[in-house]
Amino acid sequence: MFFERPEAGTQALLVHVVQDDSSAAEFTELVLSAGLVAAACIHVKRRSAHPKTFVGSGKLQELLVLAEASGAELVIFDQDLTATQERNIEAALARRVIGRTGLILDIFGQRARTHEGQLQVELAQLQHMSTRLVRGWTHLDRQRGGSGRGQGSSMGIQGTGETQLESDQRMLRARVKLLNQQLAKVKKQRQQNRRARVKADIRSVSLVGYTNAGKSTLFNRLCDAHVHAADQLFATLDPTLRQLELPVIGKAILTDTVGFIRSLPHGLVNAFRATLEEVQQADLLLHVVDAVAAERDNQMHEVNGVLEEIEAQTVPQLLVFNKIDLMDEAPRIDRDHQGTPVRVWVSSLTGAGVDGLIQAISELLGQQVIETTLQLAPNEGQLRAELFALGAVQGEETLEDGTMNLQLKIELHRLQRLGKRLPGLSTSLAGSVAE
């Protein structure tokens, strides 16, 4: 769009920079997720990045030889590169060069389906691109002739005109401003929806976790939804909300969010902030963990780092260790010394442990759950139906005169709210609760 750069193909030379938290396997998965072919891979160890070419002149020559031998048409680094480094490496290798952020943005651009998702991805791409315009790619320094209609034109004085770089920067700023305005409307709509849910006393639960941990598969299992799920990084990008039925609690909203990854570009976090506010405002986070992943602890650390960045670290969290069908673990709920659920072991693929997960969610969301007996008159059948819909009725006895005695397990404030709608019921509620 803005650059005169070498043409990109599908054959890629992968440059994996070996670090303590880096993973060559994850890097390769990212490349494959972008629809590229890994023609060759080279591992590089460096204490510090070379300011001009990141890898130094000797290694740069080695990359050129390997790229020519493998037929690679582009070179991808598993680290972020500065605009100067990208330009210098491209000049030396005569091939398109992409850093980690550029690769992730390309994947997001391919996966965004909803209007909101496309807006967020485009904003992140433009913000990333803006750093590549500064520092002057040579063709962007050309000047456009002055029109002669500006200030002083009546005297025959013409300005030097606007350089192509300045023109592109101006267009980019205008587009970024427009995208921010559109995303502000999205944010406002989400805030209105959240206020409506709070007013209706509907709890919110958000799925978070490292990419490819199985969040979308678990989402489909819990809500009987049909969200796209695949064994690949960032298979699902667009946020999805569905109704979740919980015992005692009743209706809740479950949100499936974008997966996190090591070194998730800061621009993406900012662009997706309207979506990630669903996480920040949730009543409970289900932190889905790939229980069989070799880097399981590091992945959990990365997710918690992103949650801290979006100021969601204080939201109550339940660990969900997924994919137990691939390991020797039985479905179960792990509790702390107070009996509160802290970890659930499930298989989103087979459904093992999902009932336990629903039970744990209900326990964590429940506020002042009481067990009581409530007596309803024959004409109060609507309230009876709503109590059954909440899953609050544990048992029922109908007397000869039609009076119904219901054994309930329900949140106290929900029962009181229902009781205010029927004359005389508040008194019977008070008596029932006292018992």
What structural domains and CATH numbers belong to the chain? 11-98 (3.40.50.11060), 201-365 (3.40.50.300), 369-434 (3.30.70)
Tokens of 175: 């587009």
* pTM listed for this prediction: 0.71
Q: What is the pLDDT along the chain (435 residues), one digit of tens a residue?
A: 334 555 566 889 999 888 766 778 888 888 888 889 899 999 988 888 888 989 888 899 999 999 999 999 899 998 888 888 988 999 899 888 998 888 888 888 887 777 777 887 888 888 887 766 644 444 444 444 554 444 444 444 444 555 666 777 788 888 888 988 888 888 788 778 777 777 667 888 999 999 888 888 899 899 887 665 555 566 556 667 888 988 777 788 898 877 888 777 766 776 676 667 778 888 899 999 999 988 899 899 989 988 888 888 889 999 999 999 999 889 999 999 988 999 999 999 999 999 999 999 988 987 667 778 888 888 888 888 878 877 778 888 888 888 888 888 777 667 666 666 555 554 445 444 444
Q: For the CA atoms of 212, 217, 223, 227, what is the dihedral angle to 10 degrees?
A: 80
C-alpha torsion 303→305→306→311, nearest 10: 120
Outline where DSSP puts E strands in 257-368: 284-290, 317-322, 332-335, 341-345
Nearest of 32, 31, 36, 39 to residue 66 by alpha carbon: 39
Collect all residues with Cβ–Cβ distance below 8 Å to 141 and sequence separation of at least 6.
163, 164, 165
- For residue 252, the SS3 value is strand
CA nearest neighbour of 387 among 257, 248, 209, 276:
248
Which residues have a Cβ under 8 Å from the Cβ of 200 and sit 6 or more positions away?
none
Alpha-carbon distance of 17 to 250, in angstroms, equals 50
Of 274, 308, 312, the residue nearest 123 (C-alpha): 274
